[in-house]
Amino acid sequence: DVKVTQSSRYLVKRTGEKVFLECVQDMDHENMFWYRQDPGLGLRLIYFSYDVKMKEKGDIPEGYSVSREKKERFSLILESASTNQTSMYLCASSYYGNEQFFGPGTRLTVL
């Protein structure tokens, strides 16, 4: 079975802190994605990566950066967390042209 894991299920941080969210997949997928999900706004793409060290902005990249040093690992970084970044963060991976598989999500609260 495809497995996508995320480093934390719940996270509470303070405004201004640097936050790292990690995602690991075990299926050798080229593509990896970070989304956030908010009530009334649905799922929105933050960043994605189609290869190691490659990244592309999604629809809402402001305030975020990403890192992909190894194929199986894709990190989302909040350089200076703000309260409007309180959300559910979902990571996904896929082979090109095939279905995306999602992790369990990280619910981040920024106080």
Partner 1 sequence: KQEVTQIPAALSVPEGENLVLNCSFTDSAIYNLQWFRQDPGKGLTSLLLIQSSQREQTSGRLNASLDKSSGRSTLYIAASQPGDSATYLCAVSLEAQKLVFGQGTRLTINP
| Binding interface with partner 1 (CB under 8 A) | 4, 31, 33, 42-43, 45, 48, 50, 56, 58, 90, 92, 94, 96-105, 107
Cβ atoms within 10 Å of 43's Cβ, excluding its own: 13
Nearest to 94 by CA among 32, 26, 42: 32
CB of residue 80 vs partner 1: minimum separation in angstroms? 27
Q: Closest Cα partner for 101 from 46, 44, 25, 9?
A: 25
The nearer residue to partner 1, 75 or 94, going by C-beta atoms, is 94
Cβ closer to partner 1: 64 or 103?
A: 103
